[in-house]
Amino acid sequence: MTRTPPPAPSRRSVLRSLTGAAALGTLAGCGVPAAYVEPGDRSVPDESAADRRLAWANWPLYIDTDDDASRRPTLDAFEKHTGISVGYTEEINDNDEFFGKISPALMNHQRTGRDLIVISDWMCARFVRLGWVQRMDRSRQPNVAEHLDPLLRSPAFDPGRRSTVPWQSGITGIAYDRRRLGREIRGVADLWASDLKGRVTLLSGLDEAFALLMQGDGVDVTRWTADDFHRVCDRVEREVHRGQIRRFTGNDYTKDLVSGDVLACQAYSGDVIQLQADNPDIRFVVPEEGAELWSDSLMIPDRARHKSNAERLIDYYYEPEVAARLAAWVNYVCPVPAAREVLAASRDKDTAALAGNPLIFPDSTLRGRLAVARDITSVERPELAKRWNTIVGL
């Protein structure tokens, strides 16, 4: 039987102070000239052949485990097959916090002590622009080259995905309680209906919230402008003033939805799959206008000592059989579409059913409504963060 994991902690939704967001924007731009690392200064001699190990930092509850939580079947199999020992730590709880933790080493051309990290793509964009990650050797990664989802292959911040590879993806859409609300929700505009007054929440994080709201306004989020952003903020401000929005949240929106205090909210697809196990009346909708497809991605930081070992592990997780086992546990959008056929062939009924879940393997209709949003640049960030955080109350 498929083991249902416990609810995932916040990976995308984190509260940021205005000062923190502004400071990161300055650092990621030209305000700190010493921060940028030239291509020739990013690597050190690779010790992989002589030292069969690597250090991997990830988020909590973001890899398959056995009944014994210390056992990770897919990772254990990699170690056994390759002889590479993986020091796996669940030390990332917040993108900004982790940025602050390792940025002093990276900006000073020092090792971080990690060969592989997983952070959200909007933060990956900063690392790539700062030159804090190494380009991968795709000749060592045939599975990535063959199986990476075409929708995720070339984000604006990393064309061709040479410095980043998606670990898991997800959809930011709308969750609602169909039984309590008594009707369907089809688009972002439905959140502003009178029967939802005071029963709606939006995500507090700028990077997590803005794309879906823009899509509800008819904006192509792959090429949005500052005017698009401010127009959406005007709308959100009006809804706050008239009492439509109960509050802005992190991942605790799930508690409000389960309790019934909130009837509709911005939400992540992976969270809703887990909530539906206990309450099938909770629905997740990709609005008719579209929704954001996001990723948390693997990167090899500068001066990593075991680059080849890290590249090999990344490619291992792009084997469809391995990706299928991981997808069955985490329940996020699988970046390896070929894993769907593996799950569909399972003799276990519950596991096979996952292959037909569009929130794990979006079908062609749904895929047509998903878009990877252009990230916020370092130049834009201070102004946009100030506007958004004023509305949110940070």
Q: For residue 73, what pLDDT is reported?
A: 97
88: enclosing H helix or E strand:
strand 85-90
State the amino acid at position 132 in one-letter form. Answer: W
What predicted TM-score, i.e. pTM, was given to this entire model? 0.88
Residue 4 has pLDDT above 90, yes or no: no
- In angstroms, the CA 31 to CA 19 distance is 15
Residue 8 has pLDDT above 60, yes or no: no
Tell me the backbone φ, ψ of residue 204, rounded to 5 degrees.
-80, -30
Residue 10 has pLDDT above 70, yes or no: no
Q: For residue 69, what pLDDT is reported?
A: 77
Q: For residue 25, what pLDDT is reported?
A: 42
Q: For residue 235, what pLDDT is reported?
A: 97
Longest dimension (CA), the chain: 66
pLDDT digits (tens, 9 = 90+) for 69-124: 789 999 999 999 999 999 999 999 999 999 999 999 999 999 999 999 999 999 99
Higher-confidence position of 355 and 277: 355
Counting residues of the chain whose pLDDT is more than 70, the rounded percentage is 91
* Contact present, 354 and 328 (Cβ < 8 Å): yes
Q: For residue 14, what pLDDT is reported?
A: 32
Buried (b) or exposed (e) across 29-48, using 16+ Cβ within 10 A? beeeeebebeeeebeeebbb
Tell me the backbone φ, ψ of residue 281, rounded to 5 degrees.
-75, -15
Distance (Å) of CA 259 to CA 179, 180, 230, 243, 276? 13, 11, 33, 20, 14
Tell me the backbone φ, ψ of residue 257, rounded to 5 degrees.
-70, -40
Residue 207 has pLDDT above 70, yes or no: yes
Tell me the backbone φ, ψ of residue 254, rounded to 5 degrees.
-65, -35
Count, in order, helices (H) and strands (E) of the chain: 16, 10
3-state secondary structure 168-202: EEEEEEEEEEHHHHCCCCCCHHHHHCHHHCCCEEE
Question: Which residue's entry shows tokens 């911005």?
Answer: 266
**H runs (alpha helix) in 317-348:** 320-330, 339-344
- In angstroms, the CA 113 to CA 301 distance is 9
Residue 31 has pLDDT above 80, yes or no: no
pLDDT digits (tens, 9 = 90+) for 120-178: 999 999 999 999 999 999 999 999 999 999 999 999 999 999 999 999 999 999 999 99
Residue 220 has pLDDT above 50, yes or no: yes
Backbone conformation region of residue 266, classed left if phi is above 0, alpha if psi is from -120 to 50, else beta: beta
Q: For residue 67, what pLDDT is reported?
A: 82
- Angle between helices 18-28 and 381-392 in degrees, nearest 10: 170
State the amino acid at position 114 in one-letter form. Answer: R
